[in-house]
């Protein structure tokens, strides 16, 4: 008997059919990835396996059986026993899944007690046990920590520990690595693989990252508009896709082992690196007139006295007209802090930022920022048009007709419609909201745009569209871009030069292809080795190598 048996599943929200006639099975101990773009219905399917649509107004049809339970017809009490005890789910955002007021260990213990009726002491011991199992150091002490005291990777491990506490037969992981840097992502994927080997549990992985699927599963089911496009062994689907859509999906995946994408009419390639490494390219500019932004000895500290923390430590770099400088590193490496100092949102503790050769104090409209999360950077109570108009009004423009005309022009330039002026952020998709953020940055007529993880939360096709838009704007307007990201593959595709950051310092820099093809610093090599491979055999070899390194 299969662990999961889904037959002709349909899920409708009002007039929208989110899942349309989906069927698949998952055997005990097997791993299946649901892959597709945002809106393809992946997470809706995952929720249906646990009956999470019950009581929401959604109309669910077909048959869903998990661990012998008919999810659609089971009484509420039986569904509660299924959730956690036989099938558990790890959600994308651990912060929204964990209660900020309670210790991590207490939350895990409570889940365990609900399903096993053991004593509080036994439940707390079980919480420490599973936290240790998922690799939380000093698990007994850290079990008393609250969610905000954990890093992103540790919070995700804590959620996996919570899911494992009752030893479920099935683990459903919904985008478990989306917001994590490559090394932490590799650790989480290795953990899931090890847990499968040790416990024999089945894994349903929901992801828009095809590389993550290659690292983790036996079979892949590609979804589009709620339907199955292609389904088969991971090596077959990713190595020789039969369907056009699957081939397009794979073509949109940036490759860390592919040369940098060449965008026509780039005005500058190469140039002196922040660390002086020799650059590739015949047209290396020798004149300082090309430098539009410069950082000299930047340092930023947070806190005082013994609690002082240095986020950026003695960083110097230059940005030239028309080029893209990529800045990569793990979470906590200082990338975002550096980007905010370049824009002027943070004042450096030491050092200075120079615009066109002159030391700058405060914010310069010529240097703008596109933020990682367009939802939190856009006011939900104001139309997107009003948000885009802010830089125009800040410059003194008072003619509302001219303001609306300019905003309409900007909306159309980034691939939206002028009529979208009066819409609100919640009415847009993630990729569209990021286009709004780009339009707002362009409203100030900048020379430099600092992009802070601008595509990290987007699926690969939307990611490719936003990257192509930035390249097009760069060609048309001669913009310089500083592209801050933890996704090394994306950075390689867009960057002329790359600076690798670790613990607040630049450890390696140079021409993008040179740094990627011949990394000199051990940390750069470590980052590149953690990038997911699309070939399952390569992924398995890398996983084995990481295990050997960890055991050494």
pLDDT tens for 219-238 read 999 999 999 999 999 999 99
The CATH T-level fold of domain 1-76+170-186+204-253 is Rossmann fold (3.40.50)
> Is 288-366+446-533 assigned to CATH 3.40.50.720?
no
Is residue 91 within 8 A of residue 162, CB to CB? The reply is no
Q: How much is the pLDDT for 541? A: 82
Global pTM reads: 0.78
Q: How much is the pLDDT for 260? A: 64
Q: How much is the pLDDT for 271? A: 38
Is residue 383 within 8 A of residue 424, CB to CB? The reply is yes
Q: How far is CA 244 from the centre of its chain?
A: 26
Q: Choose between 484 and 332: higher pLDDT.
A: 484
In the chain the first and final C-alpha atoms are separated, in Å, by 41
Is residue 532 within 8 A of residue 214, CB to CB? The reply is yes
pLDDT tens for 30-71 read 999 999 888 899 999 999 999 999 888 899 999 999 999 999
Secondary structure element (H or E) that encloses residue 227, with its range: strand 227-233
Across the range 281-308, mean pLDDT stands at 74
Is it the case that residue 273 has pLDDT exceeding 80?
A: no
Beta bridge pairs of residue 281: none
Q: What share of the chain has pLDDT > 90, as a percent?
A: 49
Q: Where in the chain is the domain with CATH 3.40.50.300?
A: 1-76+170-186+204-253, 288-366+446-533
As a whole number of angstroms, the distance between CA 222 and CA 37 comes to 9
Q: How much is the pLDDT for 288? A: 55
As a whole number of angstroms, the distance between CA 461 and CA 270 comes to 28
Across the range 158-185, mean pLDDT stands at 85
Cβ burial 250-268 (10 Å sphere, 16+ → b, else e):
bebbbebeeebeebeebbb
Cβ burial 443-460 (10 Å sphere, 16+ → b, else e):
bbebbbbbbbbbbbbbbb
Is residue 467 within 8 A of residue 263, CB to CB? The reply is no
Is residue 21 within 8 A of residue 193, CB to CB? The reply is no
Q: Which range has the worst mean pLDDT, 100-114, 281-295, 432-446?
A: 281-295
Distances (CA, A) of 237 to 100, 232, 269: 41, 6, 37
Q: How much is the pLDDT for 179? A: 67
Q: How much is the pLDDT for 90? A: 87
Across the range 184-191, mean pLDDT stands at 83
Is it the case that residue 97 has pLDDT exceeding 70?
A: yes
Query: From edge to edge, which strands make up the β-sheet containing 358-359?
Result: 309-320, 291-302, 350-355, 358-359
Q: Choose between 538 and 147: higher pLDDT.
A: 147
Is it the case that residue 274 has pLDDT exceeding 80?
A: no
Q: What is the pLDDT confidence band of residue 17, given thresholds at 50, 70 and 90?
A: very high
Q: Which range has the worst mean pLDDT, 398-407, 471-480, 528-537?
A: 528-537
Q: Which of 37, 528, 510, 527 is nearest to 276 (CA)?
A: 510
Q: Which of 27, 22, 75, 68 is nearest to 47 (CA)?
A: 22
Burial class of residue 538 (count of CB atoms within 10 Å of its CB; 0-12, 13-18, 19+): middle
Q: Which of 145, 215, 245, 103 is nearest to 532 (CA)?
A: 215
Across the range 470-492, mean pLDDT stands at 91
- Looking at every residue in the chain, the average pLDDT score rounds to 86
Across the range 103-125, mean pLDDT stands at 91
Across the range 271-297, mean pLDDT stands at 57
As a whole number of angstroms, the distance between CA 164 and CA 155 comes to 14
Across the range 441-445, mean pLDDT stands at 92
Across the range 388-397, mean pLDDT stands at 90
């Amino acid at each position: 008997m299969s662990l999961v048996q889904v037959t002709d599943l349909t899920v409708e929200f009002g007039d929208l059919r989110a899942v349309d006639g989906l069927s698949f099975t998952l055997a005990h101990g097997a791993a299946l990835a649901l892959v597709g773009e945002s809106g393809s219905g992946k997470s809706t399917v995952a929720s249906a396996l646990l009956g999470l649509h019950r009581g929401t107004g959604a109309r669910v049809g077909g048959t869903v059986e998990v661990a012998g339970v008919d999810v659609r017809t089971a009484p509420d009490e039986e569904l509660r026993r299924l959730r956690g005890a036989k099938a558990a789910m790890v959600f994308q955002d651990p912060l929204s899944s964990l209660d900020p007021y309670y210790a991590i260990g207490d939350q895990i213990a409570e889940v365990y007690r609900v399903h096993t009726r053991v004593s509080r002491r036994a439940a707390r011991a079980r919480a420490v046990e599973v936290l240790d199992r998922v690799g939380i150091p000093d698990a007994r002490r850290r079990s008393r920590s609250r969610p905000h005291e954990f890093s992103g990777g540790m919070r995700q491990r804590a959620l996996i520990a919570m899911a494992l506490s009752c030893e479920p037969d099935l683990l459903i992981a919904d985008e478990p690595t989306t917001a994590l840097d490559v090394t932490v992502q590799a650790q989480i994927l290795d953990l899931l693989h090890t847990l499968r080997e040790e416990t024999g549990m089945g894994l349903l992985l929901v992801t828009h990252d095809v590389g993550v699927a290659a690292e983790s599963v036996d079979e892949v089911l590609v979804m589009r508009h709620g339907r199955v496009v292609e389904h088969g062994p991971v090596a077959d689907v990713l190595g020789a896709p039969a369907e056009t859509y699957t081939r397009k999906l794979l073509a949109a995946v940036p490759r860390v082992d592919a040369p940098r994408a060449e965008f026509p009419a780039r005005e500058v390639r190469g140039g002196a690196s922040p660390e002086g490494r020799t650059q590739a390219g015949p047209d290396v500019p020798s004149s300082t007139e090309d430098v539009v932004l410069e950082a000299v000895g930047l340092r930023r500290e947070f806190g005082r006295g013994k609690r002082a923390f240095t986020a950026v430590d003695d960083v110097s770099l230059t940005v030239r007209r028309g080029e893209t400088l990529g800045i990569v590193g793990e979470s906590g490496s200082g990338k975002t802090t550096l980007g905010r100092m370049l824009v002027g949102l943070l004042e450096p503790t030491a050092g200075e930022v120079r615009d066109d050769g002159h030391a700058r104090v405060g914010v310069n409209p010529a240097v703008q920022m596109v933020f990682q999360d367009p939802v939190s950077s856009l006011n939900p109570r104001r139309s997107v048009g009003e948000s885009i108009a802010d830089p125009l009004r800040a410059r003194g423009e008072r003619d509302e007709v001219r303001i609306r005309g300019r905003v309409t022009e900007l909306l159309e330039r980034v691939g939206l419609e002028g009529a979208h002026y009066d819409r609100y952020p919640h009415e847009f998709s993630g990729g569209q909201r990021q286009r709004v953020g780009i339009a707002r940055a362009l409203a100030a007529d900048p020379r430099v745009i600092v992009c802070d993880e601008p595509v990290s939360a987007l699926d690969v096709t939307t990611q490719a569209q936003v990257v192509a838009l930035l390249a097009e704007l760069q060609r048309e307007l001669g913009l310089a871009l500083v592209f801050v990201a933890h996704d090394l593959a994306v950075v390689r595709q867009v960057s002329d030069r790359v600076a690798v950051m670790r613990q607040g310092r630049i450890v390696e820099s140079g021409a993008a292809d040179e740094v990627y093809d011949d990394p000199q610093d051990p940390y750069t090599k470590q980052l590149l080795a953690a990038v997911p491979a699309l070939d399952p055999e390569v992924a398995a070899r890398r996983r084995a190598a990481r295990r050997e390194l960890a055991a050494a």
